[in-house]
Amino acid sequence: MLCLASIGLQAASASAASYTTDPPPGVDQLQIVCSPDPDGLQSTDVMTITVTTVGGKPSRAERHLMIALKIGGWNTPGYTYTVPITLSQGASKAQVKLVYAQLARDFYWAINVQESGRSILKIYSASAMTPVHNLNNAAQPVVSVWLEWDANASGSLEQRRTPANQYAGNTSLGTIDDDVPNPRSRLSVPELPEDWRVLLGFHGILAKFERLESAKAGQLQALNEYVLAGGCLIVQGESLDQLNDVDHLLSDPSVKPSEDQPADFRWGEFPNRITKKSKRVFPDHQRSHGAGEICFVDSKAKMDDVSTRQFVGTSITEAARYSTLDDQWFWRNLVQTVGKTPVGAFIGFVILFVGLIGPGFLYLTYRLKHRTLMLLLVPLAAAIVTLFVLIFNVLREGFDTHGRIVSLQTVDQHSRQGFVWSRQTSFSGAPPGSGLKFPVNAWVKPIDVTPTRSNWQEMASSIAEIHTASDAVLVRRWLVPRSQQQILVGHPLHDVDLPFQVQT
């Protein structure tokens, strides 16, 4: 049973959902605050869950909770995202972050908190499950913005909820007509999240070189992995001497760069790529970085309207964020070694069956002088043969989990970093109870070939549980025995050794 909460379209500020637990006697009551609410902007987002004791009293015992966010829409499957949180004995507050994907504008979401396998929230009535956040009649939201990383900015990531026409007139990335909402406008924030999956919701990121130098290690890692995944980064600098510093900042400090390919080999000069010709000390430079692109421009030069440009990897990230219809890709990537009818064995069983009900049973009933036994023997033989065929096919395919992976992997030879997007097909005779395991920073999306829901009861069903553990992302309660199922996965690669070398 889930505690269901309804939400509405927010303006410039984020909203939070607050819940109170209903514990058994002798157990402290807790306050659960989830912020911000899902906003329906079709991207990956992060929710901060804060657990506090009522009145700020120290907890009398260690509490192990499981936070679950169920989210789904009319044309997208429902997923349940779970994350554990521990409130230590003597503590009054605990906090955890939950990364999740929202792939629809019209959707519902629900929060559940469990302890010792039972829900401890005060449950709303069933009528609380109401279709909300229908943006068709509201102002067009900013579904794809350029993110400016500026230490002096006062914005926040939650301001993506702001209707796009409130960004109109911002000329930092080119002229925008005040009367026409621009869904690719700019949002300025002082801090970046430390998870590349949250940045996946942005078309590109703009930052000054000085901001990169003063960034936290986690922010640089997230930015680095975002570009590797297919994003675009524009760095504003003072001179070309800073190119090597950009390479150093966007690298894994634990990995020694390859000496087979110098860093300078990767940068190319594109004079009119982004900035205009006037008042420019040096021309624009750019290079690919994994599946994405890094651009280095003069900080004093005026930019063209980059908001409408398509860079190297943006088509990859756009497809990962917005794709809901799978078309024929599912059928093109099936596991070929399972699910096939054993034609030879099937013909043998048919011949055996025909032999039994023909000469065999006729001869037997003739000897027994009871032809009416055919009325019992024929259905009995049919049932036995059918059961035998079923058991034979089950044993033939076994109880293992079979897989097929089709992937696109990009690697930066110098920094030995890369990224891989993959479509993974699984067929399991006996699905593992622990689920499928992926890297802890992986972006996962189980595929549903029939995503359309006809009613809210169907939307309330979840096709998979995506659990965030301390060392992995687990996809559980998803694999169906003896069924072909597929999942999209994206995750960064570090310390990659290629079996070949590219030389100039």
435-467: pLDDT as tens digits:
899 999 999 988 877 666 666 566 667 789 999
Q: How far is Cα 66 from Cα 81, in angstroms, rounded to an integer?
A: 10
What pLDDT, in 10s, does the model give residues 288-309? 888 888 989 888 877 665 555 5
Q: What CA–CA distances, in Å, run from 206 to 148, 249, 285, 476?
A: 5, 15, 14, 37
- Same domain for 409 and 385: no
Q: How far is Cα 17 from Cα 43, in angstroms, rounded to an integer?
A: 20
Classify residue 133: in a domain, yes or no: no
Classify residue 266 by its DSSP letter: G
3-state secondary structure string across 201-247: CCCEEEEEHHHHHCCCHHHHHHHHHHHHHCCEEEEEECCHHHHHHHH
- Same domain for 420 and 387: no
Residue 209 has a pLDDT of 94
Band of residue 207 on the pLDDT scale cut at 50, 70, 90: very high
Of 141, 151, 318, 163, residue with least CA distance to 232? 318
Q: How far is Cα 245 from Cα 251, in angstroms, rounded to an integer?
A: 10
- Same domain for 355 and 282: no
- Same domain for 285 and 173: yes
Of 33, 70, 178, 173, residue with least CA distance to 464? 70
pLDDT of residue 175 exceeding 60, the answer is: no
What mean pLDDT is reported for the chain?
76
Alpha helices in 356-442 (DSSP H): 361-368, 374-397
Among residues 322, 354, 372, the one where a domain terminates is 322
Q: How far is Cα 4 from Cα 472, in angstroms, rounded to an integer?
A: 28
pLDDT of residue 222 exceeding 90, the answer is: yes
- Same domain for 214 and 277: yes
CA 230 to chain centre: 15
Q: Domain of 89: which CATH number?
A: 2.60.40
Classify residue 190: in a domain, yes or no: yes
Band of residue 235 on the pLDDT scale cut at 50, 70, 90: very high
- Same domain for 169 and 103: no
pLDDT of residue 493 exceeding 80, the answer is: yes
Four-residue CA torsion sign, 101, 105, 106, 108: positive
Classify residue 503: in a domain, yes or no: no
- Same domain for 415 and 389: no
Band of residue 176 on the pLDDT scale cut at 50, 70, 90: very low
Residue 106 has a pLDDT of 66
Q: Pick 329 or 268 by higher pLDDT.
A: 268
Residue 290 has a pLDDT of 87
- Same domain for 290 and 150: yes
pLDDT of residue 323 exceeding 60, the answer is: no
Do 184 and 34 touch, CB atoms closer than 8 A? no
What is the token pair recorded at 362? Answer: 């006729």
Band of residue 172 on the pLDDT scale cut at 50, 70, 90: very low
Among residues 128, 154, 172, the one where a domain terminates is 128
Classify residue 193: in a domain, yes or no: yes
Q: How far is Cα 285 from Cα 268, in angstroms, rounded to an integer?
A: 5
pLDDT of residue 314 exceeding 50, the answer is: yes
Residue 168 has a pLDDT of 34
Report percent pLDDT > 90 for the chain: 21
Domain of residue 170 covers 146-322
Classify residue 471: in a domain, yes or no: no
Classify residue 102: in a domain, yes or no: yes
Q: Pick 156 or 430 by higher pLDDT.
A: 430
Residue 356 has a pLDDT of 72
Classify residue 257 by its DSSP letter: P
Of 449, 423, 148, 443, residue with least CA distance to 317? 443
What pLDDT, in 10s, does the model give residues 329-388? 787 888 887 766 677 777 887 787 777 777 888 888 888 888 888 888 888 888 888 888
What pLDDT, in 10s, does the model give residues 338-348? 766 677 777 88
Selection from 181-185, 216-220, 276-280, 392-396 with the highest mean pLDDT = 216-220
Q: What CA–CA distances, in Å, run from 465 to 69, 75, 436?
A: 10, 18, 11
- Same domain for 206 and 150: yes
Tell me the average pLDDT across 221-225.
94
What is the token pair recorded at 287? Answer: 């290079």
3-state secondary structure of 109: strand
Buried b (16+ CB within 10 A) or exposed e, 121-150: beebeeeebeeebebeeeeebbbbbbbbbb
Start-to-end C-alpha separation, the chain:
62
Tell me the average pLDDT across 2-12.
30
Amino acid letter for position 296 = F
Classify residue 230: in a domain, yes or no: yes
Q: How long, in residues, is the chain?
A: 504
The backbone torsions φ and ψ at residue 122, rounded to the nearest 5 degrees and listed phi first, read -75, 115
Residue 187 has a pLDDT of 78
What is the token pair recorded at 59? Answer: 């907890």
- Same domain for 427 and 314: no
pLDDT of residue 164 exceeding 50, the answer is: no
What pLDDT, in 10s, does the model give residues 240-266? 999 989 988 988 877 777 665 555 567
Q: Pick 466 or 3 by higher pLDDT.
A: 466
Band of residue 133 on the pLDDT scale cut at 50, 70, 90: very low
Q: Pick 499 or 193 by higher pLDDT.
A: 193
What pLDDT, in 10s, does the model give residues 382-421? 888 888 878 887 787 778 888 899 988 888 877 889 999 9
- Same domain for 245 and 363: no
pLDDT of residue 135 exceeding 60, the answer is: no
What pLDDT, in 10s, does the model give residues 25-54? 878 889 999 888 776 555 678 889 999 998
User: What's the domain count of the chain?
Assistant: 4
Classify residue 161: in a domain, yes or no: yes
Four-residue CA torsion sign, 357, 361, 362, 363: positive
Among residues 267, 290, 322, the one where a domain terminates is 322
- Same domain for 269 and 156: yes
Q: For the range 274-277, what are the long-range contacts, defined as Cβ-Cβ under 8 Å and sequence gap of 24 or more?
A: 274/234, 274/303, 274/304, 274/306, 274/309, 275/301, 275/302, 275/303, 275/304, 276/301, 276/302, 276/303, 276/304
